[in-house]
A and B are shown apart, each in its own frame.
Chain A
Amino acid sequence: MSLYFLCLILLAIGIWCLLVKKNLVKKIIGLGIVEYAINLFFILLGYRFDAQAPIIAKDSNSMIMVDPLPQALILTSIVIGLGTTALMVALAVRIYEKYGTFDISEIRKLRG
């Protein structure tokens, strides 16, 4: 149970970074940390003691394996996280071109 709590502390660090920092790239880093924490939490839910990986080998007959369903869902989620990070970085680069800074307090003051 302490593993779950440490994972939630990682999630809280990511949310704090997203709320407090003023640099746009720091906010993207904060979202990345939140994604890592959520993926780890799902895989921690599906672990089973003294079990093997969900691959059927030729010479072993035991079917005691860890839970494969969270792994299938998180595989999708990792690649989607890459897509959204790339789109956020493209938007941040465009904002830098237009306003000349990454600081959101200054961007809020300038009116186009």
Chain B
Amino acid sequence: MKNEQGMSIIVKRITRITVSLIFLFGVYIVLHGHLTPGGGFAGGVIIALSFIHVVLAFGKDFALRRLNEKLASIFESLGAVLFLTVSLLGLFLAGIFFLNVLPKGKPFNLLSSGIILPSNIAIFIKVGAGLFMIFIALAMLRITEGKKGE
């Protein structure tokens, strides 16, 4: 009976294909954040939606073995520390907080515009992991039978 949780077999087969496409789309929107509309926040929410897709299609217990909450909490803190490091670089290298100190290449290139690209990547990791952790906390809650009191 362990394979019967989650949705039907058709949904599981299709999920294997679409999850990778959604993940790729999210990474594309983040990396091109300084050239086309999008940016770190929209990409982070798309990544969180792709993980939620896996949890919804395969059932809670099977999917949360790999994507557990310790991993999500490590990634969220990593994203916050990375964002602060990128902004403190300006303080250490030139004396002004948040100064744009990385080299700015030509416009319309992927590796251009200084501090904007690492900031986008840091925000993307942080928002994606944080929103996935919200969903885990809400999904693992079970309503016990006792109602009033306690």
Contacts and interface: CB of A to CB of B under 8 A. Distances in A.
> Does a CB–CB distance below 8 Å link A and B in the complex?
yes
Interface of A: 53, 55-56, 58, 75, 79, 82, 86, 89-90, 93, 97-100, 110, 112
- Chain B, interface size category, equals 10 to 19
Main secondary structure of the interface of B (DSSP, over half): loop
Interface in B33-64: 36-37, 39, 41, 45
B106 interface: no
A93 B138 contact: yes
A90 B138 contact: yes
B41 A100 contact: no
B133 to A, nearest CB: 11
Interface string B72-103: 00000000000000000000000000000000
Main secondary structure of the interface of A (DSSP, over half): helix
Interface of B: 36-37, 39, 41, 45, 107-108, 127, 131, 134, 137-138, 141, 143-144, 147-150
Given A75-B41, A100-B147, A90 B137 contact: yes
B41 A93 contact: no
Nearest to A86: B134
B138 A55 contact: no
B143 A97 contact: yes
Nearest to B35: A55
Nearest to B39: A75
Contacts of B137: 90
